[in-house]
C-alpha cells in the first residue's frame, strides 16, 4: 500500500519501530499484564455490556478504529523508549523547558490508554462474533521530540474528526450499536485531553478552535495506509471495504521538515498559494478538478487548480491552489483532496465520494 509513497519521500525513524507483542504483552496481555496496563492507564475497562449485533458498516468502522489504535500504541511505545533511553533529540535538554519526568509519566499513561482502546475495539468485535485484529508494522516520520509531538497532535486531530462520524453511523444503524456510541464518546473526550497536552507541549493554546475539523472515515483510512509497512497486516486494510482513492496528493511547498511525509505541511494562519502534485491527473486547465478543503465545521470549500504542469512522459502533475485561510478557516487541522468537479459538496462524505486524489493534511499553527 505504501510502496509508491516510499519511493517519493523518505521516512526517518529514530529507533526501530516496536515489534509485537510489546513487553507488557500487548495486544494479547495475560490477566496480570492487563491489570498492570489498566493501572498504568489510570482506569479500567467499562463494565457495561458490549453490542452483540453489528451491521457490516459498523464492523468495518470498528476494525478501522482498532487499526488506528494499534498505530497509536506503537507510536507512543517508541516515543517512550526514545525518552527513557536518552536517544538524541529526546534528551532532557532537547525537550526543555518541559519537565522530563512529567513528560515520561504523561506518555506512559497515554501509551497504556491507547493499548486499552485497541483491546477494547477487539472486545467489541469479539462480542459481535467477529475475528479480533492483530497489529501491522508501522512507520513513524519523526526524528526528534519536537517533530514527534507535532505528529502526535496531527494524528490525534484526525481521530477527533473521525470518531464523531463513526458515532453518527452507529446512531443511524440502530439496534445494539448506539451503546457503543457512549463508549466512543468517552474515548473522544480522552483524545481531546491528549491533544490539549500535545499542543501545550508546543507552547500552543490547548484548544485549537471552537469547532474542530471533521472528516469522512475514508480520509482516515487513506492516511492510515500511508503509515503501514506494505504487506505487513495480518488482515489487509483493503479487506475493510473502504474506498481507496485513485492516487495520493502531495504538498510540494512549503515543507516543515525534510524528513516529513509529503502529504503533511504546517502553515501560519494566513492566506497562501500552495504547490501540490499527484499521479494520473489529466489536463488540469479544463476545470475538471478542484482542490477541496475541510476546515472546522464549515461547508467544504472548493478552489480551482491553477498552473497545471506535467513533464512529457511523466505521470506526476503539479499545480497551484490558493489556501484562503482568512475565509473562515479554523486553526489546527485542515484536510485537502482533489475532486472531480467543484461541487457544491454538502459534507465531508460527499467530498470523499468525489475524491480522486488524497489525502493531504495541513496543520495551521
User: How would DSSP label each residue in 225-263?
Assistant: HTTB-TT--SS-GGGG-PPPPSB-EEEEE--S-TTS-TT
Question: Is residue 275 classed as helix, strand or coil in its secondary structure?
Answer: strand
Instruction: Kindly list the averaged pLDDT for each block of 10 residues, start to end, along the chain of length 365.
Output: 30 56 95 98 91 88 94 97 95 94 97 97 93 94 93 96 90 78 93 97 96 93 93 89 88 77 93 93 75 96 92 89 95 96 92 94 93
Most distant CA atoms of the chain, gap in Å: 63
Q: Is 70 within 8 Å of 228 (Cβ atoms)?
A: no
Q: Is 79 within 8 Å of 4 (Cβ atoms)?
A: no
Instruction: Specify the pairing of strand 355-364 against strand 264-267.
Output: parallel
350 CA to centre of own chain: 20
Residue pLDDT, tens place only, 194-252 = 999 999 999 999 999 999 999 889 999 999 999 999 999 998 888 888 878 989 999 99
Q: Say if pTM beats, i.e. exceeds, 0.85.
A: yes
pLDDT on residue 28: 95
Residue 341, C-alpha cell as written in the block:
468537479
pLDDT on residue 285: 57
Q: Is 307 within 8 Å of 320 (Cβ atoms)?
A: yes
Residue pLDDT, tens place only, 18-50 = 789 999 999 999 999 999 999 999 999 888 888
Sequence-distant (6+) residues with CB within 8 A of 321 are 273, 274, 276, 291, 303, 304, 305, 306, 336
Amino acid at each position: 500500500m505504501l510502496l509508491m509513497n516510499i519511493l517519493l519521500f523518505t521516512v526517518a525513524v529514530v529507533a526501530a519501530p516496536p515489534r509485537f507483542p510489546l513487553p507488557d504483552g500487548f495486544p494479547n496481555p495475560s490477566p496480570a499484564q492487563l491489570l498492570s496496563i489498566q493501572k498504568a492507564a489510570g482506569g479500567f475497562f467499562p463494565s457495561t455490556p458490549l453490542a452483540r449485533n453489528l451491521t457490516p458498516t459498523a464492523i468495518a468502522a470498528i476494525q478501522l478504529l482498532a487499526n488506528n489504535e494499534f498505530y497509536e500504541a506503537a507510536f507512543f511505545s517508541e516515543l517512550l523508549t526514545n525518552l527513557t533511553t536518552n536517544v538524541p533529540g529526546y534528551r532532557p535538554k532537547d525537550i526543555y523547558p518541559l519537565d522530563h519526568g512529567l513528560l515520561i509519566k504523561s506518555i506512559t499513561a497515554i501509551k497504556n490508554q491507547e493499548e486499552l482502546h485497541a483491546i477494547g475495539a477487539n472486545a467489541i468485535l469479539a462480542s459481535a462474533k467477529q475475528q479480533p485484529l492483530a497489529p501491522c508494522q508501522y512507520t513513524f516520520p519523526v526524528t526528534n521530540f519536537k517533530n514527534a509531538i507535532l505528529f502526535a497532535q496531527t494524528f490525534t486531530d484526525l481521530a477527533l474528526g473521525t470518531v464523531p462520524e463513526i458515532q453518527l453511523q452507529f446512531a443511524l444503524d440502530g439496534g445494539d450499536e448506539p451503546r457503543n456510541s457512549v463508549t466512543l464518546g468517552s474515548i473522544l473526550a480522552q483524545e481531546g485531553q491528549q491533544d490539549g497536552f500535545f499542543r501545550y507541549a508546543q507552547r500552543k493554546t490547548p484548544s485549537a478552535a471552537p469547532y474542530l475539523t471533521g472528516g469522512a472515515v475514508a480520509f482516515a483510512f487513506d492516511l492510515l495506509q500511508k503509515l503501514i509497512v506494505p504487506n505487513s497486516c495480518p488482515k489487509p486494510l483493503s479487506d475493510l471495504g473502504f474506498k481507496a482513492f485513485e492516487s495520493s496528493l502531495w504538498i510540494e511547498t512549503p515543507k516543515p521538515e525534510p524528513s516529513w511525509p509529503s502529504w503533511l505541511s504546517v502553515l501560519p494562519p494566513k492566506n497562501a498559494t500552495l504547490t501540490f502534485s499527484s499521479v494520473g491527473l489529466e489536463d488540469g486547465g479544463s476545470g475538471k478538478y478542484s482542490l477541496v478543503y475541510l476546515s472546522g465545521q464549515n461547508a467544504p470549500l472548493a478552489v480551482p487548480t491553477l498552473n497545471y504542469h506535467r513533464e512529457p512522459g511523466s505521470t506526476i502533475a503539479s499545480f497551484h491552489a490558493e489556501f484562503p485561510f482568512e475565509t473562515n478557516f479554523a486553526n489546527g487541522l485542515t484536510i485537502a483532496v482533489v475532486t472531480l468537479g467543484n461541487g457544491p459538496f454538502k459534507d465531508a462524505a460527499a467530498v470523499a465520494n468525489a475524491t480522486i486524489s488524497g489525502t493531504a493534511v495541513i496543520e495551521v499553527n
